[in-house]
A and B are shown apart, each in its own frame.
Chain A
Amino acid sequence: MLKSLTQHRLSGLALLAIIILLVPAFLNNPFQYDMATLVLIYATTVVGLNLLVGYAGQISLGHAGFFGMGAYFSAVMTSRFDWSPVPTLILGAALVGLVAYIVGRPILRLKGYYLGMATLAMGFIIYITLNNEGWLTGGPDGMPVPGLSIFGWELSTFNTYSFLGMEISGSLAWYWLMGVMLILGVWIAQNLIDSPIGRALRSVHGSEVAASVVGVDTPKFKNLVFVVSAIYASLMGSLYAHFQGFITPESAGFMESIIFVTMVVLGGMGSTLGVIFGAALLTLLPQLLADFHDYEMMMFGLILMLTMIFMPKGLLPTTQAFIRKKLHKKAEDKA
């Protein structure tokens, strides 16, 4: 009974929902809520990126570019043109998806380092554009972003709301909103993975020739997953912008792209729960270690390298395998 429960395809999702529900009990000030919300935003982003990197085996070193595009689209349209935030972020995601589709077609033919270089260049172009078009984006100084208004509510971390008779701070409201987004994001990712499309994506990773001779149109599937992961990034970028209330081009920068990839690799490529764990760790670590900021770049590089060498499967899958082995050994010893 317990076994069949833990092996259900959505058991991870249920576990995640429980964690998201429990976490607020351990948080006691708005700053901590905001950190948790940030974790949720990055986690959802890398759940999308993991579809590309972990499942389809294609690298992207420019994913923050999509995140930044979503963020700036929302920022510019809602602040300068008074567009409504929710339709704007949806339209932004559609546009970013279109950009990913157009860019993806030529560059996804490349493999390994070459694909890494091409996506890196793509990220740089987006970053530089956001920096240079100051008349629209505020340039390197960044720009303010209005709060997220949903159904007439202005969702801001500075406000408080009453909901079913309860007082809810803006920070907590944001936390719940992003918690729901992560659950949705994981559910959709899981549906995609547990399907013929997911199998085709994994086969591109496992053996691209094998995939092609059984009829998988590998360029099409690579492009599909590139677009899907870009849409995840764009949506999260938009929400990030509204949440922070202020954005700079750094959110689209190289460093950010590396952090995303490190979250995936550290947590465990191809493990949805793993990459969420990776996102939590790498978002909170710099907060815990005060001096971290000076060495941030170095630390992430080091983490990436050490993970690749010692735990190529990532932290969570490696730990799971370790525990399974221990349990197995215990059972054997008993017998």
Chain B
Amino acid sequence: MSALIEVKGLDKAFGGVHAIEGLSFSVEAGQIYSVIGPNGAGKTTLFNLITGLYTPTAGEIKLNGENIVNIPPNKLAERGMCRTFQQMQICMNMTALENVMLGRHLQLKSNFLTTLLRLPSLLKDEADCRDHAIELMKFVGCGDYIETEASAMSYGALKRLEIARALAAEPKVVLLDEPAAGLNSVETAELEELLKKIAAQGITVVLVEHDMKMVMGISDHILVINYGRKLAEGTPEEIRNNPDVIAAYLGG
């Protein structure tokens, strides 16, 4: 069986800085796959490369066995990849619900003419989209914010909203960049449950996270990177006992 995401010899340089260097790994479908590493290790850069926001300096990235380098993010969304951001990307000029409905952009079949004339098929499509989005907001625990302006929501709620938007796209794989950052312990525990539920739906989760307790608790597989290179990979058990990882995390 081939991997869902396969990365080989990946390289990304910003001027003289190698943010990612010779990185290879693969993510199997259905996993919760975590990427960890110290600040500045290159985790976000890696996500930006996989999701088409950056172009690699060298190396290849495959999704379902097909090369995806140089394919723009919106085309990757069509292939079932979606993500959230460490620096949250919420449309503050919309309501919470509209943000999630935006996530269903590709599921909508309306065209320019049905829109201009506001034909019944458009209204039906929109109503379904709305129902679906409301359901998802409840699923991630944002049920109280449906008509709220995104700009009026708390940080923790926005974090969940961004996940709901990613799920609205009905992805095969979601990449979540530090979803627990800035959350309190109760919220983090809720998030952990949410990620498990997402994985249980058969959606592959690729996670960047600093919260070790959570990472160790839910991951099937962990990749550790440092200075853009692979330091170790394996099951949580293997990672916990890896001397290199311990050294890196203790600042060795």
From residue 177 to 200 of chain A, which have CB atoms closer than 8 A to chain B?
Answer: 188, 191-192, 194-200
How far apart are the CA atoms of A214 and B168 in the complex, in Å? 9
Q: What does the 1/0 interface line of A199-239 toward B look like (CB < 8 Å)?
A: 11011011101111111111000001000000000000000
How far apart are the CA atoms of A218 and B169 in the complex, in Å? 16
Q: Is A270 an interface residue (CB 8 A)?
A: yes
Residues of A near B106 (CB, < 8 A) are 214-215
Interface SS of chain A: helix
B92 lies within 8 A of A206 (CB): yes
Q: What does the 1/0 interface line of B95-107 toward A look like (CB < 8 Å)?
A: 0001001110110
How far apart are the CA atoms of A214 and B78 in the complex, in Å? 8
Residues of B near A192 (CB, < 8 A) are 115-116
A215 lies within 8 A of B117 (CB): no
* Residue tally, chain B, CB below 8 Å to A: 38
Q: What does the 1/0 interface line of B110-133 toward A look like (CB < 8 Å)?
A: 101001111000100110010000
Which chain B residue lies CB-closest to A212? B73
How far apart are the CA atoms of A240 and B167 in the complex, in Å? 49
Q: Among B94, B101, B165, find the residue whose CB has the most chain A CB atoms closer than 10 A.
A: B94
Please pick, from B73, B93, B169, the residue contacting A205 in the complex, using a CB distance under 8 A: B93
How far apart are the CA atoms of A217 and B72 in the complex, in Å? 9
How far apart are the CA atoms of A188 and B116 in the complex, in Å? 6
Shortest Cβ distance from A196 into chain B, in angstroms?
5
Q: Is B184 an interface residue (CB 8 A)?
A: no
From residue 19 to 39 of chain B, which have CB atoms closer than 8 A to chain A?
Answer: none
Which chain A residue lies CB-closest to B101? A199
Q: Is B160 an interface residue (CB 8 A)?
A: no
Residues of B near A191 (CB, < 8 A) are 115-118
Q: Is B82 an interface residue (CB 8 A)?
A: yes
Shortest Cβ distance from B123 into chain A, in angstroms?
10
Q: Is B208 an interface residue (CB 8 A)?
A: no
B105 lies within 8 A of A207 (CB): no
B105 lies within 8 A of A215 (CB): yes
Q: What does the 1/0 interface line of B30-55 toward A look like (CB < 8 Å)?
A: 00000000000000000000010100
A214 lies within 8 A of B105 (CB): yes
* Residue tally, chain A, CB below 8 Å to B: 27
Shortest Cβ distance from B68 into chain A, in angstroms?
13
B94 lies within 8 A of A202 (CB): yes
Residues of B near A215 (CB, < 8 A) are 74, 77-78, 105-106, 169
Which chain A residue lies CB-closest to B117? A191
Please pick, from A194, A196, A213, A270, the residue contacting B93 in the complex, using a CB distance under 8 A: A270
How far apart are the CA atoms of A215 and B122 in the complex, in Å? 19
B53 lies within 8 A of A197 (CB): no
Residues of B near A212 (CB, < 8 A) are 53, 72-74, 77
Shortest Cβ distance from B45 into chain A, in angstroms?
15
Residues of A near B74 (CB, < 8 A) are 211-218
How far apart are the CA atoms of A213 and B74 in the complex, in Å? 5
A196 lies within 8 A of B94 (CB): no
How far apart are the CA atoms of A198 and B103 in the complex, in Å? 14
Residues of A near B98 (CB, < 8 A) are 199, 202
A214 lies within 8 A of B169 (CB): yes
A206 lies within 8 A of B116 (CB): no
A211 lies within 8 A of B102 (CB): yes
Residues of B bordering A, CB below 8 Å: 51, 53, 72-74, 76-78, 82-83, 85, 89-94, 98, 101-103, 105-106, 108, 110, 112, 115-118, 122, 125-126, 129, 165-166, 168-169
Residues of A bordering B, CB below 8 Å: 188, 191-192, 194-200, 202-203, 205-207, 209-218, 224, 270
Instruction: Please provide the 4 A-B residue pairs with the shortest distance between their CB atoms, ordered closest to farther.
Output: A206-B91, A215-B77, A210-B89, A215-B106
| Given A196-B115, A216-B105: 15 more A-B contacts, CB < 8 Å | A191-B117, A191-B118, A192-B115, A194-B118, A195-B115, A197-B115, A205-B91, A206-B92, A211-B105, A212-B73, A213-B73, A213-B83, A214-B102, A214-B165, A224-B112
- In the complex, 10 of the A-B residue pairs with CB atoms within 8 angstroms, ordered by the A residue number, are A192-B116, A195-B110, A203-B94, A206-B90, A209-B53, A212-B73, A213-B76, A214-B74, A215-B78, A224-B112
